[in-house]
Structure 1
Amino acid sequence: MIRPGPPVAALALLMQLHSPAPAADMGPASAGTIAPVAATASGSEASSPDMVIDGSGLREDPARPGVFAHVANRWADGGCMWTSKGEPLGKEGLCWIRIDLGRVCQVAGLHIWNYNEGGGWQGRSVKAFDLLASQDDATWTGAGAFPLRCASGKDDEPGESVSLAKPVAARFLKIVPTAHYGRDNLCGLAEIRVRVADPKPGDRVLAPRPPFKPRYARTTYAPRALGKPWPGGENVAWPADAGVIDVTKPPYGAKGDGRADDTDAINRALAEHNDRGAIVWLPNGIYRIRDTLKWGKGEKYTALIGQSESGTVIRLDDSAAGFDNPRKPRHVIWTGGDPAQRFGNEIAHLTIDTGAGNPGCAGVAFVANNQGAIHHVTIVSGDGQGLQGLHLGAAGENGPLLVRDVTVVGFDYGVAAGSPINGHTLEGLTLRDQNLAGIRNHTQHLSLRKLNSRNECPAVELKGGVTALLDARLEGTGAAKALPAIRGSGTWYLRNVSATGYARALEGREGLAIAEASSREAVTLWDDPKTALRLPIQELPPVPWESPETWASPLAYGGRADDQEDDSAAIQRAIDSGATTVYLPRGLWRIGKPVVLRGKVRRLVGCRGFIETLDGHPRAEPLLRVADGDGPIQIERINGPWHGTKVLAADTKRPVVVRHCGNVSMDFAGGGDVFLDDVVNNPGANFTFKGGRVWARQFNPEPEGVHVRNDGAALWILGIKTESKGTLIETVNGGATELIGGIAYTSGGSGGAPMFVVTDSRFSATLGEVCWDDRYYRVIVRETRNGETREFKADDPRWGRSLALFATHGSRR
């Protein structure tokens, strides 16, 4: 796992780059000290060279307007310090960072904030460097050799000025570290500004942020009866014996009337049912809070679910104490922090209002690992102020997770993601009225589909990372007519993106529509089209949420959770009862022989409970088997065992939907349609698909060996995350696999296997790899076509630890 940094607290970017007229020198942020327009580096580890030029991690000194200090948290603003990739230091110039000033300037010096990560990691600071200058990026001359002090590792790091003996005419500067303070083999910098003797009005400088401008009227909510169905809304209600925690019942007693303070009641429920697979339920109502709602100790296996997205409202007080300072941000909901053990967290079917007059507020710090989702949620700032609506960068190890059908209104950023692991999948995201950008991705692996944005600022801002974006509608308003809808750098793949009201859809590219584009030319091993497979995409089939009075439970047939008895007969009787929804109340259910999902049952609801073999040991038979029945069968909110027993097998053409399930592995051999939504396998057991069609969103296969075997199926994946040794996906017998975004987290090495194997089949992928040592995948794709084998290897310069697009349009079924 990634080494966790210091505790992560999102720091607002309290400045923006703009073009003021020249002014008197005031220190690092004066008009004579400009920001480069671009940066590249010899290598970057869990960072991006853009981080040294974009103002991330800087905050303004309130006593000295226009002067900025750097924070000690490397993950602030989604990542705010560049680190090398371990290239040797020295005058040979193997390690370097290059900046582009955008024009030829008379360079007089630099202001440098050295690598400032706290906890001793500031030892990565550069100790000495050579400075090279160029006007054309081809011919370089020496501009001096300079020492730097080690950064303080504190939040008030002022940086230091470096002066040249005489001004040098240059557009490009290259900093070549020759020594560092030696924490490990990496060196880095936090931020760079360049002093010039000839400032121009168009130069980019750090400046105080302009005053806040309201963009919409204050949101208000009509009174509502507690727990009554909301007109036109879903009605997510539960049986009384399901083990679901109703916060309005004793001993919690939340009122939900919009007047009483419900903070303590909800937090008590979260604290007392922590880490236990609990659903904490909020019936329709208005829940007034004064402080952060926090997950209990352990920060996992907890779900906060409302009765309906429109009917259940959590509302922070206006001008709430402690939410006034953007330098010390506070969240309305916080689901946990590092390390990456925040399994099974969920927020769903509610609205979160962060109130008015709370500029230091962020909406939801959602952290989940392996399996977890925030869905059918609206996050709104009462007056438009606040840092992030949905903060996915609140931990250095966040994801994989799913964001589905979420609306964010207001805030500086609608969604902010940071840190390179472990990937986020977003589908059905609506953003409007943000102040700085709709969505900001700093180094994370994002897989997005169905993004709708209406903003006066850029819809998407990228800084490093791997981003795949499909089916996006980006509407610009007002000043957006001079801006691109998507801007920044990194590895990206775009498809079916349209913009209106912007100058262009993508920075540096003319036009408002993008049929298909990638940041680098697609890689192919044959003379194939350099396009993705474009497999047909199907949405999840609707399975109605029925009134809980009609549900059936094994409790009615003698089953009991949390004992040592075999519950399989009781569960089977509930399934065969004729009920279309069957539920397993919260707890551990032991299954001695496979339970068959057949007949009329359409939904198996686990209530966040667990299923296990009778003796707790692996066995050859699966726990659940899908047979023919009436319409699709949906299995949800179940956690399987922590060993290699297959959880689910299907040899039927009946459509199968698996959602929000942890520790589940599967064999599908019936040729029917399969939908996987927010799923991770149990250790030692993989996924196999023989024929049929599969749509997987937020898919996390982690077993050793072949993680996923596609044997003649059509497999479409939006967002993948993997760990453990072995081939990630093997596609054979005329199968087709389309992988749209994700991360190969090679934390345990590759085991010498190729990352992907394709044999007489079709395959396309956008993907990044993160590996902290030298055990990365040496072969990315091994393809065999008609008996001839070719390989795409890691030493190919087209790789670079990420694929904008790989495609092979080989054998068809």
Structure 2
Amino acid sequence: MIKLLCLAVCCLLCAIALPSCLWASVSSSATTNVVYPADANMVNVRNYGVKGDGTTDDTAAIRAAVQENLTKHRTLLFPAGTYIVSDAIAWKGKDDLFGAFLTWQGEGTSKTIIKLKDNSDGFNDPSQPKPIVRPGSLETGGNGAGNRAHNNYIFDMTFDIGKGNPGAIGVDFNASNTGAMENVVIVSGDGKGAVGLDLTREVGPCLIKNVTIKGFDIGIRVASALYSITLENIHLENQNVVGIQNKDNVLAIRKLTSINSVPALNNGGDWPGPSVLIDSELKGGDAEAIAIENSSHILVRNVSVEGYKAAIKSGDKLVTGPQVEEFVSASPISLFKSRQKTLNLPIEETPQFNDNNLNNWANVEAYGAKRDDEQDDSDGIQKAIDSGKTTVYFPWGYYDLKKPVIVRGNVRRIVGFFSFLRPAKVLLRFENNDHPVILERFNFEGGAIEHAAAQPVVVRHSNPLFLTASQTATWFLEDVVTSRLNISKGTRVYARQLNCESPPPEPLVNNDGGFVWLLGYKTEFGNTVAATRGGGKTEILGGLFYPAQGVNDPKIPVLLNQDASVSAVYREIAFGPTYTIQVEETRKGETKTLRRDALSKGNMIPMPLYVGVEP
């Protein structure tokens, strides 16, 4: 009785102390309450006759909502409810071609549920699996495969394939350059089903974060040599064949929790990796099963294994558990005497902030900004920033800023719902000195943001240019596409799914004395993808470097290391003129290079681990 009383008192004190707004460093897929203002200019699917009452078949009405809003950068809001479907919902227009630039937004994984009817026609054959939902690549037919699945997003909802649907796929996702699935649960009512999350149609780069999958033969299925996928905070449970099956892709995985008697990861294919798995727990197991089966290239670091015969089987190598500190499937490559392990830089979690009290939200239009009128909105936006509210939001539309807006004061989160900010100039200057600020879901038409703050700036699901004025700036980037990053001494960057695209000759990431940690990094054009100088530190965990426009200067290396510390796991792939030099490293005036033809020939070069560490 005394223990129960103490527990009750502790819970009461926590409830009193816990405000409706909450900072957090780690988020979970089990989002229970997601709140957005009614005037955010999202598109409510109920306007199309969608019921979400757990009884009505909403398939046709959801399709109508999708068709009407494809390629418009709009967000479809699915209010709390159970939405019954009986057939696949492809993100296609009335012309039967796939569109893109669409977001599905729920109100939490316990509240917004897309549920397939039990024993639905067409979902009973695992050899011909069929999805509940299928985003695709712009202006494609067939199954929507391709590399133009831009800005496809799914947030805060559950997909339930019900019972008696062994041929069902929960979500057959596709996104390109920017796109994500975040805070999503995918479940099977009876444990059966072909695939929970299918990522096989030239998917990526994209971010899969805070996703839970329960049941299915395969939890996550990945295929295609292009374009790389970043996964973080993934929970897999009770798969029948394998947790993650990867054929040919480059995966960057962090914080995978697998509770299974089957292998957690099978990494193979005809294109030899490499993939990365770090900071993960693989539990359950079977006395005869291997936790990680590898027939390609893989880096495994800080992974605990419980209940399996062994942690890793890679070729003829067998690695036992219970803890894998660091394993590389092939010998690391160094040009000078160096440690033979990754830099293993200290990782910080991306700051999170949610305020469910809508009285603390400021609509920029309530302070004088007006979308779509091509007039200067700077003053109205500045007034909203200075209102004292914790969260500032832009109802979807186009906003013009003729002068920079200063981000300061009490604001902690700025949400755009994929609004457009223009023109191409410095649009936002961050001067937040008391707490981090999060900027998310914006389209920049060439505009830049400037970091002049003492506290971190978080940028998510956006495409700005970046400027740094602070000597101690910290950036957190998630699902970001930009031209290039310039990092100076004292600056720190933590990026999860970064895509840099800009013509040569300047490096895409130029780190002069700073700190750069990249989990999932994709590039195009024939630039140096990362130049590290002046004692800087750069760690790349899962890169896909694709000079689609060709490499015109044979002296340009993939990586440049000048008296600095670099470790990198990546694939360089090309179908035309490509890099001659993979790595150029200089120590105390002496320069050495690693040529591409010293590693392999053909379209693809895997780098299982390059290490060049300053003595």
**TM-score normalized by structure 1?**
0.67
In the other structure, the counterpart of 1:240 is: 38
| CA positional deviation for 1:726 | 1.1
Written as runs of structure 1 = structure 2, the 5 A alignment for 1:651-670 is 651-661=452-462, 663-670=463-470
Work out whether residues 236 and 545 of structure 1, in 8 Å CA contact, stay in contact via their aligned partners in 2: no
Pair 1:454-2:259 in alignment: yes
- Conserved? CA contact 2:599–2:605, under 8 Å: no
Which residue of the other structure, out of 167, 179, 184, is the alignment partner of 1:360? Answer: 167
Using the alignment, how far apart are the partners of 1:485 and 1:569 within structure 2? 57
Post-superposition offset of 1:550: 2.5
Supply the distance in 2 between the matched residues of 1:400 and 1:797 (Cα, whole angstroms). 25
Change (3 A) 1:391 1:604: same
1:336-485 alignment, distance < 5 Å: 336=136, 337-393=144-200, 395=201, 397-464=202-269, 465-477=273-285, 480-485=286-291
Is the CA contact (8 Å cut-off) linking 1:454 and 1:474 kept in structure 2? yes
Structure 2 distance, partners of 1:545, 1:432, is: 31
- What are the equivalent positions in structure 2 for 1:43-62 lying under 5 Å apart? none
CA contact (8 A) 1:601 1:629 kept: no
> Paired residue for 2:578, among 776, 801, 807?
776
Q: CA deviation at 1:233?
A: 4.5
**Aligned partner (choices 410, 423, 432) of residue 600 of structure 1:** 410
SS at match of 1:570: helix
CA distance in 1 between partners of 2:375 and 2:83 (Å): 41
Matched, 1:321 2:130: no
In structure 1, the residue matched to 2:432 is 628
Q: For the Cα contact (< 8 Å) 1:457–1:483, is it kept in 2?
A: yes
Residues 433-456 of structure 1: per-residue CA shift (max 9 Å, x gap): 111110000000100011111112
Q: Compute the displacement of 1:525 (Å).
A: 1.0
Normalising to structure 2: TM-score of the pair?
Answer: 0.88
Is the CA contact 1:281–1:306 (under 8 Å) kept in the aligned structure 2? yes
Counterpart in the other structure of 2:83:
287
Cα deviation code 1:418-441 (max 9, x no counterpart): 001110000111111111110000
Asked if the contact 1:275/1:296 (under 8 Å) is kept, the reply is no
Of residues 555, 558, 568 in structure 2, which corresponds to 1:755? 558
1:32-47 equivalence runs, <5 A: none
**Separation (CA, whole Å) in 2 of partners of 1:350 and 1:339:** 25
1:253 pairs with 2:62: no
Paired with 1:498 and 1:282, the residues of 2 have a C-alpha distance of 38
Q: CA deviation at 1:372?
A: 0.7
| Aligned residue number for residue 807 of structure 1 | 611
Q: Where in structure 1 do 4 or more consecutive aligned residues deviate above 4 Å?
A: none
Q: Deviations over 1:470-489 (max 9, x none)?
A: 01211234xx2112111131
Q: Distance in 2 between matches of 1:510 and 1:745?
A: 33
The equivalences for 1:495-506 within 5 A come to 495-506=301-312
Q: Are 2:586 and 1:788 equivalent residues in the alignment?
A: no
CA distance in 1, matches of 2:399, 2:238: 47
Question: Counterpart amino acid of 2:66?
Answer: L
2:108 to 298, 308, 313: 308
When the two structures are aligned, how many residues end up with a matched partner? 560
Please report how far the alpha carbon of residue 405 of structure 1 lies from its aligned counterpart in structure 2 after TM superposition: 1.0
* Aligned twin of 2:9: none
Counterpart pick for 1:331 among 131, 140, 152: 131
1:406, CA displacement in angstroms?
Answer: 0.6
Q: Is the 8 A contact 1:744 1:769 kept in 2?
A: yes
2:336 to 514, 526, 535: 526
Letter in 2 for 1:519: S
Q: How far apart, in 2, do the equivalents of 1:653 and 1:420 lie?
A: 41
Give the percent of matched residue pairs that are identical in Structure 1 and Structure 2: 38
Amino acid at match of 2:307: G
SS at 1:589 equivalent: strand
* 1:553, distance to aligned residue in structure 2 (A): 2.0
Amino acid at match of 1:308: G
State which of 340, 351, 355 in structure 2 corresponds to 1:541. 351
Structure exhibiting the larger radius of gyration computed from Cα positions = 1
**8 Å contact 2:404–2:427 — kept in the other structure?**
yes
Instruction: Name the stretch that deviates more: 288-297 or 440-449.
Output: 288-297
1:37-69 superposed Cα distances (whole Å, 9 cap, x missing partner): xxxxxxxxxxxxxxxxxxxxxxxxxxxxxxxxx
Contact map agreement 2:355 2:390 (CA 8 A) in 1? no
Distance 1:629 1:352 in 2: 40
Distance 2:452 2:503 in 1: 25
Q: CA offset at residue 798 of structure 1?
A: 7.3
For the pair 1:551 / 2:347, whether they are aligned, the reply is: no
User: Residue 612 of structure 1 corresponds to which residue in structure 2?
Assistant: 422
Distance 2:466 2:131 in 1: 38
Q: Secondary structure at the match of 2:592?
A: strand
RMSD: 1.7
Q: Deviations over 1:314-344 (max 9, x none)?
A: 1100001111223332100111123311111
Q: Secondary structure at the match of 1:319?
A: coil
Q: Letter of the aligned partner of 1:373 in structure 2? A: A
Q: For 1:542 and 1:401, how far apart are their aligned partners in 2?
A: 20
Do structure 1's residue 561 and structure 2's residue 354 form an aligned pair? no
Paired with 1:734 and 1:293, the residues of 2 have a C-alpha distance of 52
Alpha-carbon contact 2:153-2:181 (below 8 Å) kept: yes
* Post-superposition CA distance 1:181-202 (Å, at most 9, x none): xxxxxxxxxxxxxxxxxxxxxx
1:672-697 C-alpha deviation (Å, 9 max, x unpaired): 2211011001xxx4222222221100
Deviations 1:75-97 (A, max 9, x none): xxxxxxxxxxxxxxxxxxxxxxx
SS at match of 1:372: strand
Q: How big is each residue's C-alpha offset from its partner over 1:384-421, in whole Å with a ceiling of 9 and x where there is no partner?
A: 2221100001x1x2100111111111111100000011
Q: Is 1:391–1:416's contact at 8 Å kept on the other side of the alignment?
A: yes
Unaligned 5+ runs, structure 1: 1-231
Contact 1:543 1:632 in 2 (8 A): no
Out of 596, 599, 606, which is 1:797 matched to? 599
What SS does the aligned partner of 1:628 have?
coil
The amino acid of 2:58's aligned partner reads D
Partners of 1:518 and 1:427 lie apart in 2 by 20
The one of 284, 305, 318 equivalent to 1:509 is 318
- Distance in 1 between residues matched to 2:257 and 2:399, nearest whole Å: 42
1:137 matched residue in structure 2: none
Q: Does the 8 Å CA contact 1:364/1:391 hold for their aligned counterparts?
A: yes
Q: Is the 8 A contact 1:726 1:751 kept in 2?
A: no
Give the 3-state SS of the residue equivalent to 1:571 in structure 2.
helix
